[in-house]
Amino acid sequence: MRIAFAANPLPGHIVPMIPLMRAALAAGHDVAVVTNGATRPFIEAEASPEVEVLAAGMPTLEAMGEMHRRTGASPATAPRPDVIAEYFGVRRVSDSVDAAVRAARTWQADVVVSESMDHVGPFVAAALDVPFFRHTYGPERPEVLRTAMARAVQRSSRDRGVALPAVTAWIDAYPSFLEDPSTDRPGRRIPVRPEAHHRPTPDTDPAAPRHAGTGGRHRVLLTMGTVFTDQHLLDQVVASVEAAELAVDLVVTSVNGVRATSRPGSTVSVENVPFRPIAEVLGSVDAVVTVGGAGTVLGALTSGVPMVVVPRGADHEVNAARAAAVGAALVERDPDAVGAALQQLLLDGRFAESARTTAGRIASLPSAAEALARLEELATSAV
């Protein structure tokens, strides 16, 4: 079987599907990702050199910049539901779909799997008349956003004269027990155990034992992910941790030119590290401070590490709320108050206990290989 995954060209949208890609390769299937071609080195390094890239569309930040120049708004500058829906459901479709269909047809895809915010994949599946699946990477979006997105996608469908396929099933990498009980989760679901991202090499085992802070000091991961990097915000957070006079070793993900520093004589030490799979860091920290990206939050929960979440935009608020609901996180919207929140998190053992309990529940979910078997069954019966 030839399985084409479709994704926005962002690490946080691609990485959650990597376990299923690897399971498919291990089962003898061919795997490709329909996305911007500049992601090829990332996908080869982080997923597998065996995963092909079917190039289509612009890089996300470039495309959002173009939208802002034309309309005065983009999800990066005005993350309202209507603006988000216009970008993902209309403008990205217009920019990408023709090249995506050509590439997937040449590659002869048998199945298409789209991440939650990709709306190019459904057009590809329709053009090739193949089964279509969706792959989640976080909790369900708020109803107002889902409604706006449905309208935007319907407009694209109508304008192109394409009847989009029904979703055969949702490959659900967001544990149902974490979801808000009042949220409607439509369609057939194939649960799959989420994994903290790791490269396929022997020295990055995500299950390796934790070696966290020693000698009364705590080791803490501070990350803003790969999109919401902001030097001023980072400086505020570090200063707040210093003001709380915590004996903390901060491991800071330094991407897009952003770096942390600590003042002379501070009780806080800083280690800036480049982008790396989060499993490599989670195994050696006591806590995480994050803006609330889905991959970081779910990775921390999967690894049993409590966190302080400082939401900045996108899906951060809903990710933060779900982590807080299981008792594994504190939500602090004021960067200047992060130090006090981190102190509370580290001193109150209930947060770490709740994180470990959550990790245990996640560990009991079906593996990617089991989810793949169900996908194979449904895809075969749909043909």
45 and 72 belong to one structural domain: yes
**Residue-number span of the structural domain to which 255 is assigned:** 218-363
CB 319 within 8 A of CB 139: yes
Which residues have a Cβ under 8 Å from the Cβ of 129 and sit 6 or more positions away?
Answer: none
Tens digit of each residue's pLDDT, the chain (383 residues)? 999 999 999 998 999 999 999 999 999 999 999 999 999 999 999 999 999 999 999 999 999 999 999 999 999 889 899 999 999 999 999 999 999 999 999 999 999 999 999 999 999 999 999 999 999 988 888 899 999 999 999 999 999 999 999 999 999 999 999 998 888 888 899 999 999 998 876 444 444 444 455 567 999 999 987 676 788 899 999 999 999 999 999 999 887 778 888 888 899 999 998 888 899 999 999 999 999 988 899 999 999 999 999 998 778 899 999 999 999 999 999 999 999 999 999 999 999 999 999 999 999 999 999 999 999 999 999 86
Predicted local confidence at residue 314, as pLDDT: 72
154 and 245 belong to one structural domain: no
Which of 144, 150, 140 is CA-nearest to residue 181? 140
54 and 138 belong to one structural domain: yes
106 and 77 belong to one structural domain: yes
The C-alpha atoms of residue 32 and residue 49 are separated, in whole angstroms, by 11
Is residue 154 included in any domain, yes or no?
yes
Backbone angles phi, psi at 22, to 5 degrees: -65, -40
Is residue 6 included in any domain, yes or no?
yes
Q: Dig out the tokens for 324 from the structure.
A: 């807080």
Is residue 287 included in any domain, yes or no?
yes
Q: Dig out the tokens for 362 from the structure.
A: 């996640």
Which residues have a Cβ under 8 Å from the Cβ of 283 and sit 6 or more positions away?
Answer: 206, 208, 209, 210, 211, 303
Structural domain total, the chain: 2
The C-alpha atoms of residue 275 and residue 278 are separated, in whole angstroms, by 9
CB 197 within 8 A of CB 253: no
130 and 226 belong to one structural domain: no
Cα dist. 189→11, 136, 171, 186, 364 in Å? 24, 10, 6, 8, 16
Query: Collapsing DSSP states into helix, strand and coil, what is residue 248?
Result: strand
296 and 341 belong to one structural domain: yes
How many degrees, rounded to 5, is the angle at CA 184 between CA 178 and CA 185? Answer: 70
Is residue 52 included in any domain, yes or no?
yes
Cα dist. 103→38, 133, 135, 140, 287 in Å? 15, 19, 21, 30, 43
Predicted local confidence at residue 212, as pLDDT: 54
Which of 115, 138, 64, 111 is CA-nearest to residue 301? 138
- Which strands form 329-331's sheet, in the order they lie side by side? 268-273, 248-253, 218-223, 287-290, 307-309, 329-331
89 and 227 belong to one structural domain: no
**Four-CA torsion 279, 280, 285, 291, nearest 10 degrees:** -60
Which of 291, 241, 285 is CA-nearest to residue 263? 241
Predicted local confidence at residue 215, as pLDDT: 62
Is residue 202 included in any domain, yes or no?
no
190 and 256 belong to one structural domain: no
128 and 247 belong to one structural domain: no
Place of tokens 């994994």: 195
pTM over 0.85: yes
250 and 338 belong to one structural domain: yes
Which residues have a Cβ under 8 Å from the Cβ of 151 and sit 6 or more positions away?
Answer: 85, 89
Q: What is the CATH number of the domain that holds 307?
A: 3.40.50.2000
Is residue 358 included in any domain, yes or no?
yes
300 and 177 belong to one structural domain: no
Is residue 204 included in any domain, yes or no?
no
80 and 177 belong to one structural domain: yes
Is residue 151 included in any domain, yes or no?
yes
Predicted local confidence at residue 238, as pLDDT: 94
